Amino acid sequence: MSEAKKLPAPVTNPETKPFWDAAAEGRFLIKRCTACSKPHWYPRAICPFCFSSDTVWEESPGEGVVYTFSVMRRSPTGPYAIGYVTLDEGPAVLTNFVDCDFDKLAIGDRVKVKFQPTEGGAPAPVFAPA
Ligand SMILES: [Zn+2]
């Protein structure tokens, strides 16, 4: 099992503040464009697909599958795994994987978001086996 690695505080700005406010309540938000109806992540004010500014916040269950990952075995804070999760809604999220045996973690595994404390900031979204 992996030890929880203390993550640096996320950098917030007006564009992403609602995301981090929700994260502090344990809710995972994505954004959806009302012009082309595609969801995206990370949250941006302008849709990355059609460049519309008609984007709205949407709460997500934060569930998806491991798209790819890499295990860093030599780290001063111990091994950790980072990679991409493809959310059920479609967008890919760059994240840390936690609460799993890195030797058994596999592409295609079902994972779910959870929030991990950071150094004095909003909790950061990480993913664990569902
Ligand atoms: Zn769009």
CA distance 60 to 62: 5
Q: How far away, in angstroms, is 39 Cα from ligand 1 center?
A: 8
Return the closest-CA partner of residue 63 out of 39, 42, 100, 89.
89
pLDDT above 90 as % of the chain: 84
Contact, 63 vs 113, CB < 8 A?
A: yes
pLDDT given at position 7: 81
Q: How far away, in angstroms, is 72 Cα from ligand 1 center?
A: 35
Report the DSSP beta bridge partners of residue 71: 81
Q: Which two tokens stand for residue 104?
A: 């058994």
pTM of the predicted model over 0.85: yes
pLDDT digits (tens, 9 = 90+) for 79-102: 999 999 999 999 999 999 999 999
Q: How far away, in angstroms, is 50 Cα from ligand 1 center?
A: 4
